[in-house]
Amino acid sequence: MLKGRHVIEPGDLSVGEINEICSLAEQIIVDPVSFQDVCRGKILATLFFEPSTRTRLSFEAAMLHLGGTVEGFADASYTSSTKGETLADTIRVVSSYVDVIAMRSPKEGAALLASHYSPVPVINAGDGGHSHPTQTLTDMLTIRQLRGGLERHSICFCGDLKFGRTVHSLAKAMSRYPGNEFIFVSPSELKVPEYITKDILEPAGIKYKEVERLEDVIGDIDILYMTRVQKERFFNEQDYIRLKDSYILDREKMKMARKDMIVLHPLPRVNEIAPEVDDDPRAAYFKQVRYGMFARMALIAKLTGSL
């Protein structure tokens, strides 16, 4: 039963619940008209203390397509936090008006803190470098749609694997499905954290390897998950400048890949995927954006008890 639940990280959802949400999303994809009034009278608050385009608009579009309404803010400078209001008080106030809250913050743990003060469901829309569960649902729905299921894939993550919350979330979630293997491609400074490899993958006996060259592995993978080097996560701008162009996916690299490989990216991209790749049928990142709206529609409907 998902009604009234908070979703702070992918681990808050069981494998069965993830499958249930994806299955509902797939029903909405096939017949969206049947779901256009299921959240009539419900209100979603979007509290975005950090800039966002896709995630915020995806949440808002999801609620509107379900027949509900939206209120909130996209810039914390217009809120009472500038006057010193605590997050706890903001949540106490907002939860008095709405039925569900989607919240993004640059501070890790902010969504969890918010959930302690909210009587309505809080959905973590990204908290610093920690977690991004609805992006994970988006990624998993995309994989289900384009690869036929969530099991027995060779999944390669490339780019910023140290600060990439989408990488951490998806790796943890996909490690719960049998037969998946992982390849992590990054410069040494941006390696995937050991809590993923040493604490999650190794105890479960899941195969993985870490390499520094995408060319060495691109011919052996089913899913390539590209990420940008995130300037906002760096304390030293010189480190960012040195690493930002470490990995660029272009037409030449795509020639080395399998014909049925898919390329995912949580967006926004900077230059890590060359525009020439966009027309390749294996480029799935803009399809991924649309699947994200359906994944959030399914989650909102479940958490509000509308379905």
pLDDT > 90? residue 300: yes
Q: What is the DSSP string of 86-136?
A: -HHHHHHHHTTT-SEEEEEESSTTHHHHHHTT-SS-EEEEEETTTB-HHHH
Task: Give the model confidence (pLDDT) of 127-154 as tens digits.
Answer: 876 788 999 999 999 999 999 999 999 9
Rounded distance between C-alpha atoms, residue 226 and residue 167, angstroms: 9
- Model pLDDT, residue 253: 93
Q: Hey, what amino acid is at 138?
A: T
Identify the band that residue 162 occupies on the pLDDT scale cut at 50, 70 and 90: confident
- CB 122, CB 111: distance < 8 Å: yes
Task: Give the model confidence (pLDDT) of 237-263 as tens digits.
Answer: 676 666 556 678 999 999 999 999 999
Sign of CA dihedral 194, 197, 201, 205: negative
Q: Helix 54-65 vs helix 133-147: angle between axes, to the nearest 10 degrees?
A: 70
- CB 264, CB 139: distance < 8 Å: yes
Q: Which residues contact 292 (CB under 8 A, 6 or more apart)?
A: 54, 55, 58, 134, 135, 137, 138, 141
- Model pLDDT, residue 228: 77
Q: For 104, phi and psi rounded to 5 degrees?
A: -120, 140
Identify the band that residue 271 occupies on the pLDDT scale cut at 50, 70 and 90: confident
So which residues are the catalytic ones?
54-55, 83, 104, 132
Residue with tokens 């890790």: 108
pLDDT > 70? residue 124: yes
Q: For 52, phi and psi rounded to 5 degrees?
A: -160, 145
pLDDT > 80? residue 296: yes
Rounded distance between C-alpha atoms, residue 221 and residue 244, angstroms: 24
Query: Would you state the torsion angle of the CA atoms of residues 135, 141, 146, 152, taken in this order, to the nearest 10 degrees?
Result: 90
Identify the band that residue 230 occupies on the pLDDT scale cut at 50, 70 and 90: low
For residue 199, the 8-state DSSP code is I
Task: Give the model confidence (pLDDT) of 84-102 as tens digits.
Answer: 789 999 999 999 999 999 9
Residue with tokens 């660029």: 248
In the chain, beta strands by DSSP E = 43-48, 69-73, 100-105, 122-127, 154-158, 181-185, 208-211, 223-226, 262-264
- Model pLDDT, residue 259: 96
Task: Give the model confidence (pLDDT) of 1-59 as tens digits.
Answer: 899 999 999 999 999 999 999 999 999 999 999 999 999 999 999 999 888 888 999 99
Task: Give the model confidence (pLDDT) of 171-189 as tens digits.
Answer: 999 999 999 999 999 888 7
pTM: 0.91
Structural element, H or E, at residue 21: helix 15-30
